[in-house]
Structure 1
Amino acid sequence: MSADPAVVVPAMLAAAGVTPLGEEIALMIAEFPARADAIEKLYAVTEARYEEPCLVFHALL
């Protein structure tokens, strides 16, 4: 991901209305690139992109 984590993380926290401690924000900023990469990899398997995970709760069944 090319976005600057020091900009993206505080923006996402503000949009969510969450105000964590400074140490927590620093940890989120440090971990953001790895987490963003992991999320991208979830969608990398074309065949599984629109599949549901095997455990899905359907309340109407």
Structure 2
Amino acid sequence: MTPDPTTVVPALLAAAGLTPSAEEIALMIAGYPALSESIEKLYAVPEARYEEPGLIFRAEV
């Protein structure tokens, strides 16, 4: 079941404490399905399921 972007996007923004303009919210709602699909594809790679992305910076000396 795909969540409704008109419900999810405002809820995520409220949870983050963000208050963008109505135009920005409309753009986020329009782009949410494609973004959500892309994120799901990242998790669909079985070999990378438990791996950490290479973008994590650890300041260990």
TM-score by length of 2: 0.88
Map 1:1-61 onto structure 2 (within 5 A).
2-61=2-61
How many residues end up aligned between the 2 structures? 61
How far apart are the structure 2 equivalents of 1:18 and 1:55?
A: 25
Following superposition, the deviation at residue 25 of structure 1 comes to: 0.1
RMSD (CA atoms): 1.4
- CA–CA separation in structure 1 for the residues paired with 2:56 and 2:17: 29
- TM-score, normalised with respect to structure 1: 0.88
Structure 2 unaligned runs (5+)? none
Identity %: 67
